[in-house]
C-alpha cells in the first residue's frame, strides 16, 4: 500500500533542507567592495528571502496536512465536502478545496484560499532610490 505519510514526510524533509540552504546562503557575509557585485548580491538576497518565505509557508502547510492525516484522517473539500485526492495535496499542501471547487472559486474571483487566510511573509519593500 502506498504510504501517504511517507511521501509527505519526504517532501517536508526536502523543503526543510531547501530552507536550511537558503538560510545558510543568507547568513553569508557579502562585501566585495565592488558596487556592481554588492548590487547583485542584494538582489540575490531579496530573492532568497522571498524563496525562504514560500518555503516556510509550504512547511507549515505540510505539517498541518501531516497532522490531519496522522490519525487516518482525510482532508475534505471546504466547499463540497468530498475528500481531496492525495496527489493534489502533495502538489498543493495548503489546498482546502478539491480541484473542481478550486477552479470554480477562481472563476468566481474568490481567490485561492478561503477568506481570512493571510499567511506568509511579505517580501521586503522596494529599495529607496
Ligand atoms: Zn470540492
Q: How far is the CA of 97 from the centre of ligand 1 (A)?
A: 5
pTM of the model: 0.65
Q: What is the pLDDT of residue 101?
A: 95
110 and 65 part of one domain: no
Walking along the chain (129 residues) 10 residues at a time, the average pLDDT comes out as: 75 95 86 82 91 94 84 84 88 89 90 51 50
CA separation for the pair 88, 90 (Å, rounded): 5
Q: How far is the CA of 56 from the centre of ligand 1 (A)?
A: 26
Phi, psi of 33 (to 5 degrees): 70, 10
Task: Measure the CA angle with vertex 83, ends 81 and 85; round to 5°.
Answer: 145
120: closest CA among 77, 60, 65, 44?
Answer: 60
Domain that includes residue 100, residue range: 75-114
Tell me, yes or no, whether 28 lies in a domain: yes
25 and 65 part of one domain: yes
**Residues less than 5 Å from ion ligand 1, measured at CB:** 77, 79-80, 98, 101
41 and 53 part of one domain: yes
97: closest CA among 89, 73, 60, 7?
Answer: 89
11 and 24 part of one domain: yes
Q: What is the pLDDT of residue 3?
A: 72
CA separation for the pair 127, 129 (Å, rounded): 6
Q: How far is the CA of 23 from the centre of ligand 1 (A)?
A: 37
Q: How far is the CA of 84 from the centre of ligand 1 (A)?
A: 7
Q: How far is the CA of 21 from the centre of ligand 1 (A)?
A: 36
Amino acid at each position: 500500500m502506498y504510504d501517504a505519510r511517507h511521501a509527505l514526510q519526504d517532501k517536508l524533509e526536502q523543503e526543510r533542507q531547501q530552507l536550511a540552504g537558503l538560510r545558510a546562503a543568507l547568513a553569508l557575509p557579502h562585501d566585495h567592495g565592488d558596487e556592481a557585485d554588492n548590487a547583485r548580491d542584494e538582489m540575490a538576497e531579496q530573492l532568497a528571502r522571498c524563496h525562504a518565505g514560500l518555503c516556510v509557508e509550504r512547511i507549515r502547510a505540510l505539517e498541518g496536512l501531516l497532522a490531519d492525516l496522522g490519525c487516518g484522517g482525510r482532508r475534505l473539500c471546504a466547499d463540497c465536502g468530498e475528500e481531496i485526492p492525495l496527489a493534489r495535496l502533495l502538489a498543493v499542501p495548503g489546498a482546502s478545496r478539491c480541484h473542481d471547487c478550486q477552479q470554480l472559486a477562481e472563476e468566481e474571483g474568490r481567490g485561492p484560499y478561503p477568506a481570512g487566510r493571510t499567511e506568509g511573509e511579505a517580501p521586503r519593500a522596494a529599495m529607496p532610490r
